[in-house]
A and B are shown apart, each in its own frame.
Chain A
């Protein structure tokens, strides 16, 4: 069965600090996809990134970067020089190729960035 664990329930940082959100996943499938979504205080879910299991290259997009390590079944998300607008709940999610219709989400990590 597929499972996503986000062990950090809440993280508080001060603006300009770097912060890493952890995500550990479980799957028996060899082909799968990993996602990060952001849920700001307004409540919508905003897609951030999608990676497939065959691509372990780390990705950087502006202040955001993602570290995918199959050896530890982790897909961690780092925000560099955090800003108040980064305050949100961040969800990691997994989709197996065999059960493509389903995204399995973690419980989310609430990030609070204070000025």
Chain B
């Protein structure tokens, strides 16, 4: 596709359930980022992939959060045993270069609500 695609756009889940959020980056983009954005706040970094390698996961809040990008393209962010505090907009971004510091193209995000 032309841009970064995220699915689902909206997800409502019950507390304690696992959720998987998908990101399809722009074709050929080597860098992929996950961010979380609470209401009224700026996005906060979660994790970064260079091709299939997860090079930085320092922003993942705890071990319930994990991410993968097995073939260096599509990525999945998984949250296990969801809690209400996990409710937020989850944004994926990609960029064409390794090494960061370049323009990142963001998807429209997945709005997660944990009830």
Interface residues of chain A, those whose CB is within 8 Å of chain B, are 4, 33, 35, 37, 42-47, 50, 52, 91, 93, 95, 97, 99-108
Contacts and interface: CB of A to CB of B under 8 A. Distances in A.
A108 B107 CA distance: 18
Of listed A44, A99, A103, A107, residue having the most chain B CB within 10 A: A103
28 contacts: A37-B106, A42-B108, A44-B107, A45-B43, A47-B105, A50-B103, A52-B101, A91-B43, A95-B100, A95-B101, A100-B99, A100-B101, A101-B45, A101-B100, A102-B45, A102-B48, A102-B59, A102-B100, A103-B33, A103-B35, A103-B43, A103-B45, A103-B104, A104-B45, A105-B42, A105-B44, A107-B42, A108-B41
Interface of B: 31, 33, 35, 40-45, 48, 50, 55-56, 58-59, 89, 91, 93, 99-109
Nearest to A93: B42
A52 B40 CA distance: 27
A100 B31 CA distance: 11
A108 B42 contact: yes
Contacts of B103: 35, 47, 50
A101 B44 contact: no
A44 B33 CA distance: 15
B108 A43 contact: yes
Contacts of A50: 102-103
B88 to A, nearest CB: 13
A107 B48 contact: no
Contacts of B41: 107-108
A105 B50 CA distance: 21
Contact of A106 (B42, B55, B91): B42
Of listed A42, A102, A105, residue having the most chain B CB within 10 A: A102
Contacts of A45: 43, 91, 93, 106
A90 to B, nearest CB: 10
Nearest to A31: B101
Nearest to B3: A44
Contact of A43 (B50, B55, B99, B109): B109
A39 to B, nearest CB: 9
B42 A47 contact: no
